[in-house]
Amino acid sequence: MTSAHARQSARSSHELPKDLAFALLSDQRRRYVLHALLREEGVATMSELRDRLVTWEDDVDGAEITAELREVHLPKFEAAGVVAYYTASDVVELLEPATDLVPYLELAATDDFQGDADPQSNAR
């Protein structure tokens, strides 16, 4: 096996399956979480995520977002190996496999963020 082939085999064994990537990105709130984590250089507290999502979503309650993140979205991300959620410190960290989601996430950003809610904006 050539070294190039070995690198390609190693890379492909760690890629997220496309069906899993699309399933993870099928929910707008999960996409918002990924945008927020990327904006925060891969690490954010639960309160930072909640506050960011409250600004990006209409008519939502912060407590509702926090509960849904803890009970639904973060467990899905963790099962896929995309994030780690440290309950003791209430910190969420983006993991290496999440890089497979970025191209798809960027495509969805046009529809997810219209007007002033651009995730690349530095306004808080």
Asked if residue 68 is part of any domain, the answer here is: yes
Q: Which two tokens stand for residue 16?
A: 């997220």
Asked if residue 24 is part of any domain, the answer here is: yes
Number of domains in the chain: 1
pLDDT digits (tens, 9 = 90+) for 64-111: 999 999 999 999 999 999 999 999 999 999 999 999 999 999 988 877
Q: Which of 22-31, 58-67, 112-121 has the lowest mean pLDDT?
A: 112-121
The answer for residues whose C-beta is within 8 angstroms of residue 110's C-beta and 6 or more apart is none
Asked if residue 124 is part of any domain, the answer here is: no
Asked if residue 57 is part of any domain, the answer here is: yes
- Res 118: pLDDT: 52
The pLDDT confidence band at residue 12, using thresholds 50, 70 and 90, is very low
Asked if residue 58 is part of any domain, the answer here is: yes
- Res 1: pLDDT: 41
The answer for residues whose C-beta is within 8 angstroms of residue 85's C-beta and 6 or more apart is 70, 74, 77, 78, 91, 92, 93
The pLDDT confidence band at residue 122, using thresholds 50, 70 and 90, is very low
Query: What distance in Å separates the CA atoms of residue 28 and residue 91, rounded to the nearest whole number?
Result: 21
Query: What distance in Å separates the CA atoms of residue 25 and residue 74, rounded to the nearest whole number?
Result: 13
Which CATH number goes with the domain that contains 39? 1.10.10
pLDDT digits (tens, 9 = 90+) for 34-62: 999 999 999 999 999 999 999 999 889 99
- Res 117: pLDDT: 52
- Res 71: pLDDT: 97
Asked if residue 9 is part of any domain, the answer here is: no
Asked if residue 119 is part of any domain, the answer here is: no
Q: Please, where are the H alpha helices in the chain?
A: 3-14, 18-25, 28-39, 46-56, 62-68, 74-80, 102-112
Asked if residue 118 is part of any domain, the answer here is: no
Tell me which residue range forms the domain holding 34. 17-112
